[in-house]
Structure 1
């Protein structure tokens, strides 16, 4: 049994084999872009929202509110990035209920790629928000002796994110394979329900952790005049 979509070759592009991981990743991306385009193509402020637009606005509002609770600098700074991560991972995991579809997040290469995007986004958001000097200064807090430990901690975040997402998705596939070999007529329904729940939870956890890491790298918002007067 092939648990990872990397092992399933769909076709060859010249001498390059194209695995199910790549194909399913593009399916998820096309699906997300296509649905977004169809829902928002006739978007007008003076027009009452329909059911699909209301559903999309509800999802965006929920993502924004969750990010707003985590980051102190406002949801608009990271909602596009963290929200996209959540939608991609959630859609990938939820599509496992479709027969023959293997979630690209069950591939270590996909989880590593997602983690690398987070590791790149962390310094970018930090530098854009507070400048290079303030971002680099965080590595020597509270003292210069903490520099190597802070650097190690920065990379360990990425390893933790990748292994957590991959491990949870892969463990779900292993458990499903074991249960299906025991009782193939009863457990598919149960595992589909469990897969929907765990897929949503893993997408939520990954996006929230990415938001927390990005928020920690961003500078504290400047105090207003009233806040300075209260503090003094």
Structure 2
């Protein structure tokens, strides 16, 4: 399902979950019209609230159509990736961000279609060339006929966390190697030290015998 990028820019991500209201006939009562107006006002307030929450979120929140063209791009996305919304609406996210998938894009799409959601880690390239690792949560939104309508994608930057994890892993491996080396060195040193200790004890016994023999000789001479 393909959309014109200009049309995509007009879509509001919060409206994806809105339930369409029934259209009242021209001969409906005033009370029905008032109720309909109230429902429309409440719906409009809900949509505005959802849109504001999306804009205030620190996470990058992206809405894209089934062809992966960007429909909505919040402030969190601008902060993380470096592009303003008006610069990238209608572009394919995976091309723009040079997405690296844990397996493949097809594997992720397959999970979305069959399970309706996907979670995992992705590597993206920002406008300034930096690579970031994001914890991505994606949900497939369908229309009333069950056809794919849009994908809501929430990405959280975990680059620093992964760098810390990598440092801890390197430190743990270094510690393990040092312990292994010390164990081997201790074993290697223990063998000659044991031999030296035995030789010293033997020399001590021999010296004691020599001293005793010397004392006996002195007594005989006396």
TM-score by shorter chain over 0.5: no
Higher relative contact order (CA 8 A, sep 6+): 1
Larger helix fraction of residues:
1
Band the TM-score falls in, shorter-chain normalisation: under 0.3
More strand by percentage: 2
